[in-house]
Chains A and B, each alone.
Chain A
Amino acid sequence: MEKVIFKVFRFNPERDKKPRFDKYEVPIRNGMTVLDALYYIQGYLDGSLAFRSSCREGVCGSCGMHINGKYRLACETQINRLKSKKITIKPLGHLPVIKDLVVDMTDFWEKYSYIKPYLIAGAPPEENERIQTQDDRNKLDGLIDCILCACCYAACTITDTEKNYLGPAALLKVDRFVEDSRDNNKKERLLTVSGDSGIFRCHTLFNCQEVCPKNLDPTGAIARLKRMAISNTLCFWEK
């Protein structure tokens, strides 16, 4: 059976003074994913390895990590496709390590929560759904598909230098509601993200778009929000 070397980031702040990499040799079968390999290591080589996972099919967003130079989901990364005999795994960046590949997501969730990630609309019809045209619904494609895995957040250079920057995932979520024909809180939403830590911090480096495991485009969404925010401000000034 073919074997691949996994070099895995290890750090248990309870016990370790500093992080290290441990090496494991894992037998590979066709179609095997990086997550399968981590479970093999945990189950058969070293039970003390910690990592998060749940759906193992790329929809829950638990297993974002840095795999051979790129942030990806361990569950949908096939080992064969990495075309390498050595695979290096590190935790998500810009978030403190709790243990090994498990990071503290508090900042990420607080920023997500800060942008009011819920529909704000007037009273709906009593017995029926709101009407939304197919075209209006289609505008949400690509905006509603974020799985909050934080790969973009880890890859973003700005989240590294500006601690309060809201980051790509939260801003994509803002665009998701701004574009929703049912939401009527557009102006307030744009104001919320027009401050120092919002959309204008983005330097359009495309890191988020490049790593997104769902092929979404937070960079594009942020650019759209910037345009809308500017034109809103100009309208105000003209009056």
Chain B
Amino acid sequence: MRYHQAVVVGGGLAGLRAAVALNQRNIKVAVISKVHPIRSHSNSAQGGINAPLGNHPRGCVDSPERHAFDTIKGSDYLADQDAVMRLTKDAAKRIIELEHWGCPFSRTIDGKIAQRPFGGAGFPRTCYAADRTGKYILHTLWEQIIKYIHSSERENMTVYDEWFVTSIVVKDGVCHGVIAMDLDTGELEEFKADAVIFATGGSGRVYKNTTNSLISTGLGVAIPFREGIPLKDMEFIQFHPTTLYGNNILMTEGCRGEGGYLLNNKGERFLANYDDSRKAMEVAPRDIIARNMMREILAGRGFEDAYLHLDLRHLGAEKINTRLPGIRELAINFVNVDPIDEPIPVQPGMHYTMGGIDTNINCETIVKGFYAAGECACVSVHGANRLGGNSLLETVVFGTIAGESAADYILEESPSSSEAALKEKLGQQKIVLMNYLDHNGEENHAKIKEELGTVMKDKVGIFRKKEKMEEALEEVRKLKERYKDIKIIDKGKRMNFDLIWAMELGGNLEVAEVITMGALKREESRGSHYRLDFPERDDKNWLKHTVAFSTPEGVKLEYKDVTLGFYEPRERKY
């Protein structure tokens, strides 16, 4: 049995930042990640990270309050306002700290961190490092982890890469650690811990048309869900307006922040034809632009009835090469289009999971000693629609808070984990694993995953309505039945990806059911959740969070109030 005072599951930005926070308090911490941390999905964040630094000439009067207001309005008033205030209050501090650690931010003429305009923001407040901001921050944080490993006693910081967590251990409302599999050997082991932080990322791969990495499956929210920890607001799925046609690779919002146009097949900037995007045009928030793009495509003004054009040509080669080099590289490599010469074919695609593990403002959950931060968590600061540049911010702000909360708990309450509970869980998990390896059914899990992605894309997508979602729910449940009859071909232990992808799919299916049930029940339109049959926001009945519980009788939905107090809900126009 391994023991660390704290275990962080996930090696992306939120996880690594939490590990640093714990180590700064002298807590012995282990990071467990199913991939090497440098391979995490945080890499794919492009455009930037928000903070009211006021480094841009047009942003000099920006403030945490204005940032909070934009975030709350962007959330269609579903965000908890105290959490948003915390997010924007800590923003500058966290970003300055990243700079001090060596993050290579782009610079203004006077050498400060450069900022660009982003959707739904009153001022240019998105700090950027070209169009690879997530990658540079991830590498910077990983460098800090190595520094901590070098500088402190080795045992203070341990990284288990390519270890796959299969379960958390909860007994009597307290978390005692996790069970994880070493992918090298295929063996399960107990990790005893006084506190566990989940920072496992989003659930993008529930949808076929997603920008997310292949590893963002949602298993990380399914694992605590199975142990009775509720999920919040899972029906709120962000569709990013500009993803590459064909493979849904992200084309950053920075393309539009820097002045790029969205054009229909007549060459018109069609956003001017819609009330809710007429003023802000290409820098309206993502939910609004994604819907208006779909309306254009459905009205036959798209290309091949499937995509529109993102035109950067007028920005010129120099601006494209210095501000958007990654976008140019991706477009050339993946769709054979050089944005200097041609418009990029784009369509909206699933991008972000606003919902997640239900936590309070301190990243605590209903289970003592169990915390969540980053995309897998729902604090909630994004509500019904996240603003671009706020997700990276959430990872570092709430990653830090999760680490500090866990450190407080460990130091003040000196919890002691139960080895008996860990041993019992290990026994159960060994049986689960053996059952998987014994699966010799008729079904192919890769095919089930493909079908699930298609159902969610087609029936629980940008435009939703009752009948389609009822069909989706039925289909998801059928897929869950078929999943019981899958075949695992690889019976070996070492690097058994047949087994790993099958286990991931279990998480996919559970998350898909929660998303669909929440969306079906919520009879209003708010932020990313748009019901054709209920096109208006309904504050009287639906200004509340969905909270989903896993029970022996199936998923149960409850609701709880949104924390207001700073800004009264108003109509949302840009």
The interface of chain A, by Cβ under 8 A from chain B, is: 12-15, 31, 33, 39, 42-44, 46-62, 76, 78, 98-100, 102, 105, 109, 113, 116-119, 121, 124, 127-134, 137, 140, 144-145, 147-148, 177, 180, 182-183
- A interface secondary structure, majority: loop
Q: How far is the CB of A194 from chain B (nearest CB, A)?
A: 20
The answer to whether residues A132 and B111 also contact, given A15-B492, A57-B330, A59-B132 and a CB cut-off of 8 A, is yes
For A31, give its contact among B104, B113, B334 (CB under 8 Å). B334
Most A-side CB within 10 Å, residue of B35, B102, B107, B108: B102
Given contacts A56-B214, A119-B101, A129-B100, 15 further A-B contacts (CB under 8 A): A12-B492, A42-B498, A47-B498, A54-B39, A55-B39, A56-B247, A57-B334, A60-B43, A62-B39, A98-B495, A113-B149, A118-B147, A129-B99, A131-B112, A183-B102
Answer whether residue B494 sits at the interface, using C-beta atoms and an 8 A cutoff. yes
For A14, give its contact among B149, B215, B250, B493 (CB under 8 Å). B493
The answer to whether residues A117 and B143 also contact, given A50-B495, A59-B132, A127-B96 and a CB cut-off of 8 A, is yes
Does B111 lie within 8 Å of A133, measured CB to CB?
yes
The answer to whether residues A118 and B143 also contact, given A131-B110, A182-B102 and a CB cut-off of 8 A, is yes
The interface of chain B, by Cβ under 8 A from chain A, is: 35-36, 38-41, 43-44, 96, 99-102, 104-113, 132, 135-136, 139, 143-144, 146-147, 149-150, 184, 213-215, 246-247, 249-250, 326, 329-330, 333-335, 444, 446-447, 488-490, 492-498, 501
Does B43 lie within 8 Å of A47, measured CB to CB?
no
Residues in A neighbouring B38, C-beta threshold 8 A: 60-61, 148
Residues in B neighbouring A124, C-beta threshold 8 A: 99-100
For B43, give its contact among A31, A50, A59 (CB under 8 Å). A59
Does A76 lie within 8 Å of B43, measured CB to CB?
no
Does A54 lie within 8 Å of B495, measured CB to CB?
no
Q: Return the chain B residue nearest A56 by Cβ.
A: B214
Q: How far is the CB of A76 from chain B (nearest CB, A)?
A: 5
Rounded to whole angstroms, the CA-CA distance of A177 and B494 in the bound complex is 38
Residues in B neighbouring A132, C-beta threshold 8 A: 107, 111
Most B-side CB within 10 Å, residue of A31, A39, A54: A54
Does A131 lie within 8 Å of B104, measured CB to CB?
no
Rounded to whole angstroms, the CA-CA distance of A33 and B335 in the bound complex is 11
Rounded to whole angstroms, the CA-CA distance of A124 and B335 in the bound complex is 43
Rounded to whole angstroms, the CA-CA distance of A113 and B100 in the bound complex is 20
The answer to whether residues A47 and B489 also contact, given A31-B335, A118-B144, A118-B147 and a CB cut-off of 8 A, is yes
Does A54 lie within 8 Å of B96, measured CB to CB?
no
Residues in B neighbouring A57, C-beta threshold 8 A: 44, 249-250, 330, 334
Q: How far is the CB of A110 from chain B (nearest CB, A)?
A: 11
Rounded to whole angstroms, the CA-CA distance of A31 and B38 in the bound complex is 27
Q: How far is the CB of B494 from chain A (nearest CB, A)?
A: 5
Residues in A neighbouring B149, C-beta threshold 8 A: 113
Residues in B neighbouring A31, C-beta threshold 8 A: 246-247, 334-335
Q: Return the chain A residue nearest B246 by Cβ.
A: A31
Question: Could you show 5 A-B contacts with beta carbons less than 8 Å apart?
Answer: A54-B39, A54-B215, A60-B44, A129-B105, A129-B113
Does B106 lie within 8 Å of A44, measured CB to CB?
no
For A55, give its contact among B96, B213, B444, B496 (CB under 8 Å). B213
Q: Return the chain A residue nearest B139 by Cβ.
A: A144
Does B334 lie within 8 Å of A99, measured CB to CB?
no
Does A137 lie within 8 Å of B104, measured CB to CB?
yes
Q: How far is the CB of B93 from chain A (nearest CB, A)?
A: 8
Rounded to whole angstroms, the CA-CA distance of A109 and B146 in the bound complex is 10
Residues in A neighbouring B184, C-beta threshold 8 A: 98
Does B488 lie within 8 Å of A129, measured CB to CB?
no
Q: Return the chain A residue nearest B149 by Cβ.
A: A113
Does A43 lie within 8 Å of B493, measured CB to CB?
no
Residues in A neighbouring B446, C-beta threshold 8 A: 39, 42-44
Q: How far is the CB of A104 from chain B (nearest CB, A)?
A: 9
Rounded to whole angstroms, the CA-CA distance of A137 and B112 in the bound complex is 11
Does A55 lie within 8 Å of B43, measured CB to CB?
yes
What are the 9 A-B residue pairs with the smallest beta carbon separation, nearest first?
A43-B446, A119-B102, A47-B498, A47-B489, A131-B111, A118-B143, A48-B490, A129-B99, A124-B100
Residues in B neighbouring A127, C-beta threshold 8 A: 96
Q: Return the chain B residue nearest A105 by Cβ.
A: B36
Q: Return the chain A residue nearest B113 by Cβ.
A: A129
Residues in A neighbouring B135, C-beta threshold 8 A: 59, 147
Residues in B neighbouring A49, C-beta threshold 8 A: 497
Most B-side CB within 10 Å, residue of A47, A56, A124, A182: A47
Q: Return the chain B residue nearest A117 by Cβ.
A: B143
Rounded to whole angstroms, the CA-CA distance of A43 and B490 in the bound complex is 12
Q: How far is the CB of A95 from chain B (nearest CB, A)?
A: 13
Does A98 lie within 8 Å of B494, measured CB to CB?
yes
Residues in A neighbouring B444, C-beta threshold 8 A: 43-44
Q: How far is the CB of B272 from chain A (nearest CB, A)?
A: 31
Rounded to whole angstroms, the CA-CA distance of A166 and B175 in the bound complex is 42
Residues in A neighbouring B109, C-beta threshold 8 A: 134
Does B35 lie within 8 Å of A52, measured CB to CB?
yes
Does A130 lie within 8 Å of B330, measured CB to CB?
no
Q: How far is the CB of A105 from chain B (nearest CB, A)?
A: 7
Rounded to whole angstroms, the CA-CA distance of A42 and B495 in the bound complex is 13
Residues in B neighbouring A15, C-beta threshold 8 A: 492
